[in-house]
Structures are given as structure tokens and as C-alpha cells.
Structure 1
Amino acid sequence: MKKKNYLLLTLLALFTFLLIVGCGRKKTDTDQWSRIASEKRVIVGLDDSFVPMGFQNKAGEIIGFDVDLARAVFDLYGIKVDFQPIDWSMKENELHNQTIDLIWNGYSKNAEREEKVLFSDEYMKNEQVVVSLKKNRINHFTDMKGKILGAQNGSSGYNSFEKQPKILKDFVKDKTAILYDGFNEAFMDLKSGRIDGLLIDRVYANYYLSHEATLADYSIVSGDYESEAFAVGLRKSDKKLAEKINLAFKELRKSGKLSEISKEWFGEDVTK
């Protein structure tokens, strides 16, 4: 009987604890800066295969340009950053459901996303390109006519592909793209010939192919999509949090820390 009572009390205590924790992270329209500053903890959601912005290394550690930048920003406020891998196609849902506090992982700013989230100041330029094996002779987007294209599900590249069909979609086979959760699998399919071209962020393509020592085997082609800029995604209500991030960006530029992080990952200062 005592064992049953003890078990019941333990389960009740655990339920109470989970209820308290859950209530502390419930969906709210209140600016979350005061909570984050009080807890000294902020949760960043990311696609942990997006090199070099945020990805897992061979030891299972999450590293990358955005990882170092996020830590540098919140170090100024004495706040610890936790990085939470998420399904990138569900990133805005994760943000609004309070599973994460920020979307920060090569997150391109565009008009459609501005309807869903509040953006920080921009900090890096980017563009969408098509990567292919040189033997496929893809020198222009129009050379993808009748060929198989790959893209990442939920990416800004795929959004542009759908919204501006005359640039690329109308040329590719079946006017559709094979979708991947991450680019690693997509590159494997590109190398094996399962797809003929891959729509991808230039920063990812350059870094991945350079570090794989295979850059000379591939063509990287620009099209007519507008250039993009990376920024941090926040809930619309988190204006104070956005202000703090923007102030930190200015401080990191002034101190040279932003340039230092960029040179470490890209060999040059590619920040805005």
C-alpha cells in the first residue's frame, strides 16, 4: 500500500512539474524579452544540416556561422543560447507555438514571410542558384528544360520556384521539383544522377562543395531570382527582443566581432 501511495505521489509531483513548465511556455502575444532576460536562456530553432550556417559536425555538436553569431549577440546580455533542431518546413509553426524563441539559420527575408514573422535587421546577402554536375552542361536556368530539379522543402528557393514559375519552374520536368528535408541527401542524389540540378542557397553550395573538394566538378548558375538577405525571425509581438538583437548587431559590427566570425567561416567578410 505504501509503495502504491509513493508511486501515486511521485506521478502527481511529476504531473505538477510538467504542468508548471508547460504553462511557462504557453502560447502568448506578450513580448518575451523580459522572460528571456529573467531566465537567461533563449531557444533558437534551426535546420541542423544547413552548412555553414548551423549544422552538426562529426562529433554531434551544432556549429556554424549563425551559431557563433547568435552566441555573440546574447553573450552581450549574459544569456545562454540553446539550439533546437526543427523540421524546417514547420519553422513558423514552431515559433508561434513557443517551442522556439527565434528562427536563426540562414533565414531569408521576403514579403511572404514578413506576413508571418517579425524580422531583425539584415546581416548577410544571399542568392538562389542551381548547382549541377559540369557534365550536364547546365549554364543557364533555361538549360534545365525537361530535366529533374531538386529543392529543399520550406526553403526560400522553393518558394521562389513556385511563386515565379517563368524563371525556372516552367522549364523543368513536369514543372515540379523533388523535395528534400535537407541538402545532404539532395547532393547525394545530384552526384548519383537521380536529379540533374539542385536549387540551393549560394552560401551553402560554395561552402559544401569547397569542403568536399569537389567544387571543380560542379557548375553553379545564377538566375533571375531577386537577391536575398538573411535575418532573424521573431514573433510579431517580440519587438523588444528584436530591438535587443539589432542593437547587438551594431555593437558587433563596431567591435569587429561580426567581421571576425564571418572570416572564420567564409574567409572574408560577407556580412551586410
Structure 2
Amino acid sequence: MNMNLMKKIAIASLSIVAALSLSACGKSSSSPRQNTWQRAEQSKSITIGFDNTFVPMGFKDKDGVNKGFDIDLANAVFKEYGIKVKWQPINWSMKEAELKKGDIDLIWNGYGITKEREQQVLFSEPYMASKQEILNKKSSNITKVEDMKGKTAGVQAGSSGYSDFNDQPKVLKNYLAGKTISQYSNFDQALLDLQNGRIDGVLIDQTYADYYLNQKGLTKDYSRILLDYGVEPSAVGARKSDKELVNKINQGINKLVKDGQFAQISQKWFGRNVWPGKLSE
């Protein structure tokens, strides 16, 4: 064989091997299939994805500081392990995709457990529960679900409320005009449209509605209709492979419940203990 040809083949082979080695190294450093708990222990850091407009669960205040019930709770859990949380704002409708890609390690932001989501993520044990409701302006005289017949409503895209809306059409969907609902990137936009009369109601988690109306001083201006979707538990979402990480989160939350820290955080944000064992329907 020609000597020059042999050299070219050898150089090409080495280049391929090098490229494959670099590719393998890249995957090993960021692959979501790694044991995330072991990586977090080593790096002392973990990345949590959240909707930074979801008051009071997790949001960015006017000074750019991340605050909320879930912010405090997650920080307290990982403090027990000497791990710092990096909070990553995400598009809520893309949360599972972000988790799967490895851009975030957890979804922790009032994340309701649904059958659809259980197929995509591994959930922790529930740490709180709530219900869905329709929020309306009192001036609209809407006082029961039947009053929404032919009306319009909004909901956050990718929310558990939107899943309930489609999965249980008899509760609300069949009443609305065109049996459709407007989707918004966050609740703030939906509530603004409700306030300005562009829609007749907002399908919303009661916990968010509690905080929003109290903070804005609007409790007297709006009516609220609880919907028969049942009680919805909230939990932390992880990749299916991250069983060790989820076990550590469960242990951490249970410790906070036992030593009273969970109740303190809950009282700060809701004025009551939202631990599911004390949930009153």
C-alpha cells in the first residue's frame, strides 16, 4: 500500500477516535441519565426549574430576588445536605422537556400530580394540596359554574388546571363558548385580561388566587367558584432515573415537618399549615 495513503488513513482514524472521546466526555459531564444526587453531592449544587411569576410558590420580586413558599422549602431541604439551589426560570409549558434534556434537575413550583405527568417524571411524596377554581369579577354576576355557559375563560398553558379542563370536560369545558379556553404564558397575563374584561373568568389554583387577591386587596371585587376536579396534590418532579434524589427530598421534607420548619414556612406564606395531613376540604 502507498505509504502516503497509509499515513492519511492513520491520521483519519486518530481523528475519529479523538472526536468520539470528546463526545463521550461531553455526555458524561451533562447527561441527565447520571445519578443526579451523586453529582449534586459532589458539586454542592442543584438546578431547579420554576415559573418565576407563580406567586406565592416561586417568583421574582420587584428587586429581582427569587421568593416564595417553594423557594424557601427547597432551599431548606437542600441546606440539610449542604447543597445550594440554583433557581432556573423556565417556560412552564416546556418544563418536562427541560428536565428530560438535563437543563434542570428538578421541577419544584406548585407542580400538581397528574396521570399525564406521572408518565413523564418521577414524583416525590406530596407536600401540599389544593383545588382549582374559576375566578370572576363580581360585577359579572357569575356565581356558579352554569353561569359560565357561552362565556370565555383563560388558564396558564401547561398548568394542571389546563389538564383538568381537557380531561374532565363536564366540569367546565362544555359550558364555555366553543368549548375552548385561552392559554396564557402565566397567570398574571390571564388576570390582567380578566380585570380588563377581555375574558369572563380565570381557571386558577386556589392557593395562587388566595395570595393574589389578598396582596392586591381585591377580595371584595372578585367571586370564586370551586370546581369539582377534586383535591390536587403538589410534589417535586424529577427524572425517572433519579430515585435516590427523590428519596433524599422526601427525607428532607419529612425532617422539616417533624422539626417544625415546614409549618413556619407555610405560616409565612399562607397563614396556615398546608401539609396534606392537615388539609381540610
> TM-score of the superposition, structure 2-length normalised?
0.88
Could you list the runs of 5+ residues in structure 1 that have no partner in the other structure? 1-17
Quote the residue 1:6 is aligned against.
none
Maintained 8 Å contact 2:31/2:102: yes
Specify the structure having the higher radius of gyration (Cα). 2
> How many corresponding residue pairs?
255
Maintained 8 Å contact 1:49/1:182: yes
Q: 2:220 aligns with which of 216, 221, 224?
A: 216
Maintained 8 Å contact 1:128/1:225: yes
Deviations, residues 138-181 of structure 1 (Å, cap 9, x unaligned)? 22212110001101100000011011111111100111011100
The one-letter code sitting in structure 1 at the alignment partner of 2:204 is: I
Distance 1:45 1:22, change over 3 A: farther
Quote the residue 2:17 is aligned against.
none
Maintained 8 Å contact 1:25/1:98: no
Quote the residue 1:127 is aligned against.
131
In 1, the alpha carbon distance for the partners of 2:62 and 2:156 equals 22
Say whether 1:176 aligns with 2:186.
no
Distance 1:82 1:130, change over 3 A: same
User: What is the Cα deviation at residue 262 of structure 1?
Assistant: 0.3
User: What is the Cα deviation at residue 185 of structure 1?
Assistant: 1.1
Say whether 1:97 aligns with 2:132.
no
Quote the residue 1:140 is aligned against.
144
The one-letter code sitting in structure 2 at the alignment partner of 1:215 is: T
SS in 2 for 1:198: strand
Deviations, residues 236-265 of structure 1 (Å, cap 9, x unaligned)? 000000000000011101110000000011
User: What is the Cα deviation at residue 80 of structure 1?
Assistant: 0.2
Maintained 8 Å contact 2:47/2:86: yes
Quote the residue 2:240 is aligned against.
236
Maintained 8 Å contact 1:121/1:246: yes
Q: 1:69 aligns with which of 66, 69, 73?
A: 73
Task: Show structure 1 runs of 4+ deviating over 6 A.
Answer: 18-21
User: What is the Cα deviation at residue 267 of structure 1?
Assistant: 1.1
In 2, the alpha carbon distance for the partners of 1:258 and 1:192 equals 38
Distance 1:207 1:22, change over 3 A: farther
Maintained 8 Å contact 2:131/2:227: no
SS in 1 for 2:173: coil
The one-letter code sitting in structure 1 at the alignment partner of 2:61 is: N
Quote the residue 2:9 is aligned against.
none
Say whether 1:155 aligns with 2:159.
yes
Could you list the runs of 5+ residues in structure 2 that have no partner in the other structure? 1-21, 277-281
In 2, the alpha carbon distance for the partners of 1:74 and 1:58 equals 26
Quote the residue 2:200 is aligned against.
196
In 1, the alpha carbon distance for the partners of 2:257 and 2:140 equals 42
> TM-score of the superposition, structure 1-length normalised?
0.91
In 1, the alpha carbon distance for the partners of 2:121 and 2:115 equals 10
Maintained 8 Å contact 1:140/1:223: no
Maintained 8 Å contact 1:26/1:97: no
User: What is the Cα deviation at residue 24 of structure 1?
Assistant: 5.2
SS in 2 for 1:138: coil
The one-letter code sitting in structure 1 at the alignment partner of 2:161 is: G
Maintained 8 Å contact 1:68/1:261: yes
Percent of aligned positions that are identical: 49
Deviations, residues 97-128 of structure 1 (Å, cap 9, x unaligned)? 00000000000011111110000010001111
Say whether 1:37 aligns with 2:44.
no
